[in-house]
Structure 1
Amino acid sequence: MKIPFDLETVLARIEKAIAAYPKAAMFDLYERGFTTLFEQLISCIISIRTLDETTIPVSLKLFAQARTPEAMLLLSHENLVQLLYGSTFPGQKADTILGISKTAAEKYNGQLPADFEGLTALKGVGPKCANLALGVAANVPGISVDIHVHRVVNRWGIAKTSQPEQTMVFLQKNIPQKNWININRLLMPFGKNICTGSLPHCSTCPVLNYCAQVGVTKHR
C-alpha cells in the first residue's frame, strides 16, 4: 500500500541510504578542493557520457596540469586530448574546453559568469552542465537531470516524461527551489546503486512505500 508522496521525507531517507556509496563526481571533486565554477564546468564537460569512475581520475589528471582558463590555454590541443583520454570523445571535449577557456580569459577576465544564460551561451555547454556547475560551485539553485534522476522520478510516478530535458522542466515547476541542488547530489548515487535501471533493489529501498514502481516488472 503506497502512501502520499512526501519529497522532504523521501530525500532524507535517501540521504541516509546512500551514505556508504561514492558521491556524484562533481560533489566528490568539490570536496577535494576543486571548487571554482571553471573547474566544476570543465569536470562536467568531461563527465558527458562518461562514468564517474572515469570522470574523477581524468579530471584530477587534467587539473594537475591546469586549473584556470589561462593555464588551460597553455596546453596544446594534442596534449589536452591525451589528458582527456579515457573519457568519451576526447577530441571534441578538448575543443569545447579550449573554447570555454578562451572565452573566460578574453571576455570575463578569467572568471566565468555565475548565471545560467551566460554558461549556456558557451559552445558545448548544455542545461545539465550549466545547472550542475552553478549549483555545486556557486550554490545557485538549478536542477541537473541525468539518466538516473530521469529514471528515478518517473519510476516514483511524480513525473511522466520521456526525456531528461522534459524532466528538468517538470521538476523546476513542481518542487521547491530549496531542493533543486540536492536532486542530482542525492538521486544520482541513489539511481546508480539502489534504484538501478534493471533489477532495482526494491526489497531494501528506503522509499518503497512512496514509490509507484512505474515500469518495474522485476526487482531484487
Structure 2
Amino acid sequence: MVASNFIKPSQNKATRIQMLHEMFEQIKGTTVLLEELQPDPKNYNFDSANIRKEHAFKTLIATMLSVRSKDETTLKVIENLWKHYDTPQKLAHAPLEHVEQLIHSSGTYRQKAKRIIEASRIIHEEYNDEVPPSQEKLMRIKGVGRKVANCVLVVSFNIPVIPVDTHVHRISNRTGWVTTNSPEKTELALEQAFPKSEWLVINYTLVSFGKTICKPIGPKCEMCVVNDRCMKRIVIAPRKQKKVSKK
C-alpha cells in the first residue's frame, strides 16, 4: 500500500463509519444489478456466501457484460444468455456468432462475446467449472479488471474488498472521505479510511446512493441523511468544446 496515494480525509474514522451506516440504511433495498442475480436478493449483509458462491459464474459474466451498459439492459441480456448457456462448459463451446446475437444490446458486444467465451473456457478447463475466489486468478482472465474481480469476491464469496466504480470514486471524494484522482487510488484510500469490517457494504451503499441521491449532476442534498457532514466537494467536469475549423 502506497501512503502517498492517500491524503488525510476531512472527517475522523468514527464519523465516516457513522455516515456510511446512515447512507446504507437510507438506501437499503435499492435494486442493483448484482443483487438481483442472487438467490437471496434482499440480503444486504452479504453473509450467505454458501448459496451465493453457486452463482459466482453468472455474477462474473454479468459484471463483464455490465461495462458501459445500463443495469436494466445487462439484466435482460444475462437472463437471455443464461437460457442457452448457463455453465462454463456450455458457454466455452458456444458459437461466437450466437453469443454476439444474444448480447448485442449490451454494447461493444463483439469484444464482450469473445471475452466471456474465453473466460468460460479458462474457468472450465483450468478451474473445473468453479470461479476461483482469488483476485489474482480472476485478473489473469482477459477482460476481468480489478473492479470486476472485486465485485465477484464481495458478492459471491463474502470476501472483504472494495470494488470502485464511478459512483464509489465520486461520492468518496465528494463527501470528503478521501481526496484522490483515480479509482485505483480511491480503493487504497478507502482501505485506510475504513476498517475491514465495513468494506463489504461500501460498494453496494455508494452505488445505490449514487443512482438515487448523490447523482453526478444535481445531487439531491436536501434528501441526504449525511448532508450536515458532507464536505460537498462537487466537481462537474466541463463539457468539451467542439473545435471550430478555421477556413
TM-score scaled to structure 1, two decimals? 0.90
- The 3-state SS of whatever aligns with 1:6 is helix
Is residue 2:208 matched to residue 1:199?
no
**Equivalent residue, structure 1, for 2:23:** 14
C-alpha displacement at 1:15, in angstroms? 2.2
Q: Is the 8 A contact 2:148 2:163 kept in 1?
A: yes
C-alpha displacement at 1:74, in angstroms? 3.4
**Equivalent residue, structure 2, for 1:178:** 197
Matches within 5 A, 1:133-212: 133-212=152-231
Q: Is the 8 A contact 1:3 1:209 kept in 2?
A: no
Runs of 4+ in 1 over 3 A off after TM superposition: 2-5, 31-35
C-alpha displacement at 1:155, in angstroms? 0.2
User: Residues 88-123 of structure 1: CA distance to partner in whole angstroms, max 9, x if unpaired?
Assistant: 211111111011111111111111211110100111
C-alpha displacement at 1:67, in angstroms? 1.9
C-alpha displacement at 1:177, in angstroms? 1.3
Q: Is the 8 A contact 2:59 2:152 kept in 1?
A: yes
Q: Is the 8 A contact 2:178 2:193 kept in 1?
A: no
Q: Which runs of 5+ in 1 are unaligned?
A: none
Q: Please, which of 100, 112, 129 is the counterpart of residue 131 of structure 2? A: 112
Q: Which runs of 5+ in 2 are unaligned?
A: 1-9, 42-50, 237-247
Aligned residues: 215
CA separation of 1:148/1:204 partners in 2, compared to 1, >3 Å: closer, same or farther? same
Larger Rg: 2
Q: Is the 8 A contact 1:37 1:114 kept in 2?
A: no
**Equivalent residue, structure 2, for 1:72:** 91
Q: Is the 8 A contact 2:214 2:220 kept in 1?
A: yes
State, as a whole percentage, how many aligned pairs show the same letter: 34
Q: CA RMSD in A?
A: 2.0
User: Residues 165-215 of structure 1: CA distance to partner in whole angstroms, max 9, x if unpaired?
Assistant: 221121123311121121111110101110000110011211111200012
CA separation of 1:20/1:115 partners in 2, compared to 1, >3 Å: closer, same or farther? closer
Is residue 2:90 matched to residue 1:81?
no
Is residue 2:37 matched to residue 1:29?
yes
**Equivalent residue, structure 1, for 2:243:** none
User: How many angstroms apart in 1 are the aligned matches of 2:225 and 2:26?
Assistant: 7
Is residue 2:142 matched to residue 1:123?
yes
User: How many angstroms apart in 1 are the aligned matches of 2:199 and 2:82?
Assistant: 28
Q: Is the 8 A contact 2:11 2:177 kept in 1?
A: no
CA separation of 1:134/1:20 partners in 2, compared to 1, >3 Å: closer, same or farther? closer
User: How many angstroms apart in 2 are the aligned matches of 1:67 and 1:165?
Assistant: 32
